[in-house]
Structures are given as structure tokens and as C-alpha cells.
Structure 1
Amino acid sequence: MIHVTCAIIQEADHVLVCQRSVAMALPLTWEFPGGKVEDGESKEECLIREIQEELGLEITVGKELSSVTHTYPTFEIKLYPFLCRAQGGSIRLAEHAQAIWVPWQTLNDFDWAEADKPIVAQFMQLCAEGIS
């Protein structure tokens, strides 16, 4: 079981989505950015570190949403999503093919990694209810 965090980084009615590169597992699928939790690291610390390393952004970590466990053919992950806000820096891609800001209403238009799909649905429901 791999423990992974992901950041739903919001800016007004837009959210940052990232496309995995061809060199990554699950190539060219879309995801909320994040990464593996290291030993001795909190989920929030992991997210702050990973977003800085992968995207060059500084974030504040907010509410944790419901986690998702998903089994892929060669590995299993538990994904911990958090609502976040960008606080500084500018997008600099270190791993992903692209990172773009999109209106939350268009999230279903992307080819998401399977583990992210329940998180997309959960986030869109919160937005529709005006809660996020």
C-alpha cells in the first residue's frame, strides 16, 4: 500500500490539474498534484514539500476530504486529498507534462487517473453545494 497526498489547489472558481508525463506510471492521465508520504512526515508536510518540488508553488493546506483506496494492476494506493490555496511561487514543471487552471465545472472533461475519479466527484459536489 502506497500512501499518497494530493492537493486540490483552488483559485476563485478554478482548480489546478496536472497531466502525468509519458515517463510516469499512468502516462498522460490527469491528476491533482501531490506525492508519496515519507517516513516521519505528516500528510500536510508531504503535500507542502511535493507541491514545492514538483510545481514550484507554495501552498496552504486546508480541509482534508475523504480518502480513496484504489488497486491498480501493479500497485495499490491510498490517496488523501486536501483543499489548498496557492500562496506564492509560479508554476515550474518538474515531472508533469502540463499543469493548467480550469473551471471546476469542466473537471469531468479530463481523462483522470482512476484513483482521482472519486475525488473529482467529491470536490465537484462540494463546489455545486457552495461548500469548497
Structure 2
Amino acid sequence: MKNIEVVAAVIKKQDKIFVTKRGYGEFLNMWEFPGGKIEKGETREQALKREIKEELELDINVDKFLTTIDYDYSNFHLTMHCFMCTVNGGKLHLNAHNEVKWITLEEKDKLNWVPADIKVLKEL
């Protein structure tokens, strides 16, 4: 089975977390924490800052490691390293998503999540 290693940002502001709705691929229109693949030579933190800049045009601080999630999809194994983050600049523009929102943890069950991201929610 193919292994894919990614990073994800749990961006927090007061009591809310930032979530994105996928605008492409197998999980189109499902909610997730933004992020992406680690490129050769990058640290996890560098990859996360780059991915958020590419996808959302936001600058972030990677504040602390949260968890690593392993999840088996039907055609690949995902390892997702998740970090707590804060926005420190940029202007939001959706390059890979079709919607974003700030939610409280109480609102999480109202959204249709990408399966691996459900495990991240349990860590919050």
C-alpha cells in the first residue's frame, strides 16, 4: 500500500478553529484541516507554512505539535502530523478550497469531515 505523509494546521483564534472545505479530489466538499505533503528537504513546520501560503495565502506561526494520525484509506496509508497554529499575516484567498469557516468544537458534528480529520478532532 502506498504511504503518504502530510502536515495539517489546526489554526486557532480564541475558542474557534479554522476549517476548510476541499475544492478538489476524492474528498470534494468534505471538511478538513488545511495542509499538504512534505517536500524533500523540508521540515514538517516548513512544509506546513508553505502549504498554507500556497493554499490560503496566509502566513502562520507553527506554535506546537498536537498529534500524528495514522489512517488507512482503501488505496493508501496516510500519516498526518498536526500542529496548533495561529495566523500572523496575509490575506485569505481560496486556491484549493471552496469554503472556509471558523467553528467552535461544539459545531464540529454539523460538518461532513474527511475521515482522517475526525481522529484529529478527538485530540482537541
Task: Tell me the TM-score normalized by structure 2.
Answer: 0.94
Q: Which residue of 2 aligns with 1:11?
A: 13
Q: Which amino acid aligns with 2:16?
A: H
Richer in strand (by share): 2
Identity score, percent: 34
Q: Which residue of 1 aligns with 2:85?
A: 84
- Structure 2: distance between partners of 1:9 and 1:80: 14
SS of the equivalent of 1:59 reads: strand
Q: Which consecutive unaligned segments of at least 5 residues does structure 1 have?
A: 124-132
Q: Which consecutive unaligned segments of at least 5 residues does structure 2 have?
A: none
1:1-31 CA-to-partner distances (Å, cap 9, x unmatched) read 111000000111111100011x322111110
Q: Which residue of 1 aligns with 2:35?
A: 34
RMSD over aligned Cα atoms: 1.0
Deviation at 1:108, TM superposition (A): 2.2
- Structure 2: distance between partners of 1:83 and 1:121: 14
Q: Which residue of 1 aligns with 2:116?
A: 115
Q: Which amino acid aligns with 1:73?
A: S
- Structure 2: distance between partners of 1:24 and 1:96: 11
Task: Tell me the TM-score normalized by structure 1.
Answer: 0.88
Q: Which amino acid aligns with 1:16?
A: F
- Structure 1: distance between partners of 2:69 and 2:104: 23
Q: Which residue of 2 aligns with 1:127?
A: none
- Structure 1: distance between partners of 2:50 and 2:26: 21
Moved over 4 A (4+): none
Q: Which amino acid aligns with 2:81?
A: Y
1:29-69 CA-to-partner distances (Å, cap 9, x unmatched) read 11000000111110000000000000010000011112111
SS of the equivalent of 1:65 reads: strand
